[in-house]
């Protein structure tokens, strides 16, 4: 686990201790948009890449006694890498587009002593799509492309949201989805 990610989650976890109100309830519906840092997909020596982007939706479905709330929802993530090379008039370009589509369930802890903090952990079941394209100016390349390495995935994640108002929160989440660490904004619908 990344030390900086653990440090950030620890800070969010211990941020204030003013009340014991439940931050996430069975009736809640939350949508989150995140930007990822680090990735298990590809490496970082490409010519260019875009940050990992994720969109998540979840809603409470069950209360578990006094300890928390279970939520279910969906996930979509996107990350793109490209690489180009040229030598002596020869140029080649490759591009990898990763899309992760999945369902996720989480347990939201209700015993956190801060009414603005939602701490949760869960599981993401996903289908990971890889679209690859290649082209060069050799005259032999037909601009090949295809779906390579598509697979299913199972990921554990943990995170925290800090609510700045009744509806809006910032979040940090660690896991093995489109990125190791996702930071972003959440909105309670």
Predicted structure pTM score: 0.78
What does the pLDDT look like over 85-127, one tens digit per residue? 788 888 888 888 889 999 999 999 988 888 899 999 999 999 9
Q: Classify residue 139 as exposed, middle or buried by CB count within 10 Å of its CB (0-12, 13-18, 19+).
A: exposed
In a domain, 33, yes or no: yes
Dihedral of the alpha carbons of 168, 178, 39, 162, in degrees to the nearest 10? 20
Q: Which of 186, 185, 182 is nearest to 39 (CA)?
A: 182
* 38 located within any domain: yes
Domain CATH number, residue 101: 2.40.160.20
The per-residue pLDDT for 14 is 46
Structure token digits, residue 29? 């519906």
Residue 120: its pLDDT value, please?
Answer: 96
In a domain, 54, yes or no: yes
Domain count, the chain: 1
Angstrom distance (rounded) from CA 189 to CA 186: 10
Assigned domain for 65 exists: yes
Residue 124 belongs to what domain range?
3-13+23-188
In this predicted structure, what is the pLDDT of residue 73? 97
Check: CB of residue 150 under 8 Å from CB of residue 140: no
- Asked whether residue 18 is assigned to any structural domain, the reply reads no
Would 131 be classed as within a structural domain? yes
Handedness of CA 173, 177, 181, 186 (dihedral sign): negative
> What is the pLDDT at residue 122?
96
Block means of pLDDT (10 residues each) for the chain, length 189 residues?
51 42 84 87 62 94 93 94 82 86 95 90 93 76 64 91 95 86 95
Task: Assess if residue 72 is contained within a domain.
Answer: yes
């Amino acid at each position: 686990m990344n030390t900086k990610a653990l440090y950030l989650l620890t800070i969010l976890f211990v941020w204030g201790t003013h009340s014991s109100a439940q931050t996430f309830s069975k009736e809640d519906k939350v949508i989150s948009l995140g930007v990822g840092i680090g990735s298990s997909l590809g490496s970082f020596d490409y010519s260019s890449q875009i940050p990992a982007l994720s969109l998540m939706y979840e809603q409470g479905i069950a209360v578990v006694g006094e300890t928390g709330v279970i939520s279910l929802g969906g996930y979509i993530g996107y990350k793109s890498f490209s690489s180009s090379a040229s030598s002596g008039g020869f140029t080649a370009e490759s591009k990898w587009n990763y899309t992760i589509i999945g369902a996720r369930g989480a347990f939201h802890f209700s015993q956190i002593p801060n009414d603005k903090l939602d701490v949760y952990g869960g599981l993401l079941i996903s289908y990971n799509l890889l679209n690859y394209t290649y082209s060069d100016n050799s005259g032999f390349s037909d601009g090949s492309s295809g779906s390579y390495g598509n697979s299913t995935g199972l990921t554990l994640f943990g995170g925290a949201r800090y609510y700045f108002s009744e509806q809006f929160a910032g979040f940090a989440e660690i896991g093995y989805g489109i990125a190791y660490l996702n930071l972003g904004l959440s909105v309670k619908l």
